[in-house]
Amino acid sequence: MLITLLLFLLSAVTIYLACEYFVNGIEWTGHHLKFSQSATGSLLAALGTALPECIVTLSALLMGEAPAQQQIGIGAALGGPLVLSTIGYAAVGLTLLLCMGPEHRAIDGKVQRETGRDQAWFVAIFLVAVALGMMAFTGKTWLAPLFVLVYLVYVRRELKQSDSHETPLPEPLKLDPKAGIPALGKVLLQTLGALLVVALAAQLFVHQLESMGELLGLSPVLAALLLSPVATEMPELMNVLIWVRQGKYRLALANISGAMMIQGTIPKAFCLLFTPWLLDSTMLASSLVTLLAVVLLWWGFSRGRMTAGRLACVGLVYLGFCGWLMVS
């Protein structure tokens, strides 16, 4: 148990330090590609940090055709959006409350509208996924490309928007701090190197959290639904902490929104390809909780009424769901 805890803490610290280099490198990558802050966060950063969760889901599905293993893969695919829509956004709110003065906590109206649109996109595709999970019919596998297509349309929309925003220069590249505008080669070297360290540390973090789940007597499905997503979404949470502390909450919100779109499409395509994609009562409950959280977020952002305090309160939805699972 002591070794598990030490490795758990070591991997968490490693993820944070590597994310410092990753977010710095990804900002410079977006600058070289002339991306807006929104596109940098929702596409570049989200694609990198969402990889661990996609790998966990795909690995679980490819390890065998046993129903229990398939359930773990489906649980991981559903757990990612659940954690991001609750803990992810709550982390933004809590960091704003703890690290920023009252005058710097307000969320810009334009950023709120952009984030609200992302929530609307996610609700639409996630409702389709949940509906498919409640029905059994032949040919469901052929619907997998639909989810990939939706994500590509989302990417196209973000890229079109990226041409219309001016992005300030990021902080100096950590690998070359004296360069005014560092070479793209050094930027990519730092970004990809940091991403590799994040991915490896996230896998170690997952294993330690799974071991802790076994010690606590959690079933594999509950571990996949609750613990594993928290571990694999750790890079996004670290990015949030770093960017909000730097006053770049727009990047933090875009990172979570973009990661949610990936989690709402790509892992679902995997599940449609390799499983019957049928949700049991626990998985359906988690899906409904995710939809509840996202609808609350959409309502607040689309009307420009989302505050740091309200964002922080979204985390209570996740805690309530965990409490319900433990007593049920």
281, with CB counted inside 10 A (0-12, 13-18, 19+), is exposed
pLDDT at 25: 92
> CA–CA separation, 297 vs 317, rounded Å?
12
200, with CB counted inside 10 A (0-12, 13-18, 19+), is middle
Residues found in the chain? 328
> CA–CA separation, 235 vs 50, rounded Å?
8
- Closest Cα to residue 44, out of 59, 34, 54? 34
* pTM for this entry: 0.85
> CA–CA separation, 183 vs 31, rounded Å?
11
pLDDT at 218: 67
**Residue 194, both tokens:** 């940091």
pLDDT at 187: 94
What distance lies between CA 152 and its chain's CA centroid?
17
| Largest pairwise CA distance in the chain | 60
Rg of the chain over all Cα atoms, to the nearest angstrom: 19
pLDDT at 164: 46
Query: Is the Cβ–Cβ distance between 246 and 96 less than 8 Å?
Result: no
Mean per-residue pLDDT pooled into runs of 10, the chain (328 residues): 80 84 91 85 84 70 62 77 92 92 87 92 94 89 93 89 63 90 93 87 73 69 67 80 89 91 91 87 91 95 93 93 82
- Which DSSP letter does residue 105 get? -
Query: Is the Cβ–Cβ distance between 266 and 144 less than 8 Å?
Result: no
Q: Rounded to 5, what percent of the chain is helix, strand, coil?
A: 80, 0, 20
What distance lies between CA 26 and its chain's CA centroid?
16
